[in-house]
Amino acid sequence: MSSPPSLHFRPSVYLRPRDIGETVVLLGRYGRRARILAGGTDVLVQRDPSVEALIDLEAVGLAYVVSDAQSTRVGAATTQAEIAVSERLATPALRAVQEAASLMATPQIRNVATVGGNLCTASPAADLATPLLALDAEIRVEGSSGGSQLPLRRFFVSPGQTVLRPDQLFVEVIVPVAGARSGCAFLRLARTATDIALVNVAVALEFDQTDIVTKARIALGAVAPIPMRADSAEAALLGVRITRDSAVAAGEIAAGEASPISNQRSTAEHRRSVVAVLVRRALLRAAERAEDRRDEFGPFTGDGRL
């Protein structure tokens, strides 16, 4: 059972830095006594009584989606609503990120909740974690001892815990450009449209000219202590075509790789069977997208809920 919100959440200092440098200085000064405030949709629910200073990111300028020949970069303070309508993410190779941002939470939450907050909270069910893991995203951080970049896969440590030190700011997510024939998809199952996911799944595929899979990525959420990749299912898809049979087989392998728990939302067995179904469906959808580049133009408007 989760603990009730603290009645003693009374930070005495509110800080509003104007750039990354100022933010890092403040993080260094306050250390564990400070908390970054992005959208606040987790901070203000968790109400950690040890927090003395809130560092508001709004004026730092980290809300953007930009791309060049190598990558697409999403600033840490970009909201889910902004991601959901970004033309730069409305491509077969990136659409899974947009689907996750469109499907999670409620419109009110999506208007303020950010990608940085979603990843730094490190919930096993964080909806943006799975598409970004499937797309081999890296994250850029800045801290007192300088900047660094690391694969998102190495970011999560345990539920609620990342590798970020108290003096480090998560600056942006970097998604490398995918091959010419690529497609991705995100699907989630939740008890209600606004509840967190029982299971979420994202896949990203690349194909050669003969429709053979040259790269497969499958990420699973809410079925392990941290968002995870299904390495064996990915390996099973290399060198084959995506057919119903290969998608079913990969879904079953992925279900075997998951280590879900039973809780008030679902049993472990149910979660495992949902993994098999969602992976199968997501693979078929991603393969269709790699074929059909028509949806390259325009933000995601469909309903990917199940």
Ligand X SMILES: Cc1cc2nc3c(=O)[nH]c(=O)nc-3n(C[C@H](O)[C@H](O)[C@H](O)COP(=O)(O)OP(=O)(O)OC[C@H]3O[C@@H](n4cnc5c(N)ncnc54)[C@H](O)[C@@H]3O)c2cc1C
Question: Which one among 15, 29, 40, 56 touches ligand X, defined by CB under 6 A?
Answer: 40
Size of the site for ligand X (CB under 6 A): 29
Contacts with 13 (C-beta within 8 Å, 6 or more apart), sequence order: 30, 52, 53, 54
In contact, 186 and 99? CB cutoff 8 Å: yes
Q: Does 26 bind ligand X (CB under 6 A)?
A: no
Q: Residue 194 or 267: which CB sits closer to ligand X? A: 194
Give the x/- contact pattern for ligand X in 53-82, rule: CB under 6 A. Answer: ----x------------------x------
Q: Report the SS3 class of residue 56.
A: strand
Minimum CB separation from ligand X for residue 280, in Å?
Answer: 23
Phi, psi at 88, each rounded to 5°? -65, -20
Whose CA is closest to 181, among 242, 121, 260?
242
Q: Does 90 bind ligand X (CB under 6 A)?
A: no
Site for ligand X in 168-197 (CB under 6 A): 169-170, 196
Contacts with 300 (C-beta within 8 Å, 6 or more apart), sequence order: 84, 90, 95, 98, 99, 102
Question: Which one among 90, 104, 219, 222 touches ligand X, defined by CB under 6 A?
Answer: 104
Task: Identify any residues that bridge with 148 across adjacent strands, giving them in sequence order.
Answer: 141
Residue nearest to ligand X (CB): 117
Q: Does 114 bind ligand X (CB under 6 A)?
A: yes
Q: Residue 159 or 179: which CB sits closer to ligand X? A: 159
In contact, 277 and 271? CB cutoff 8 Å: no
Cα–Cα distance measured from residue 72 to residue 190, given in angstroms and rounded to the nearest whole number: 29
Greatest distance between any 2 Cα atoms in the chain: 62
Choices 63-71, 110-118, 237-245, 283-291 (CB under 6 A): range interacting with ligand X: 110-118
Minimum CB separation from ligand X for residue 120, in Å?
Answer: 3
Choices 120-128, 202-210, 263-271, 272-280 (CB under 6 A): range interacting with ligand X: 120-128
Helices 244-257 and 268-291: crossing angle in degrees, nearest 10, is 140
Q: Binding residues for ligand X, per CB under 6 A? A: 35-43, 45, 57, 76, 104-105, 109, 113-114, 116-118, 120-121, 125-127, 164, 169-170, 196
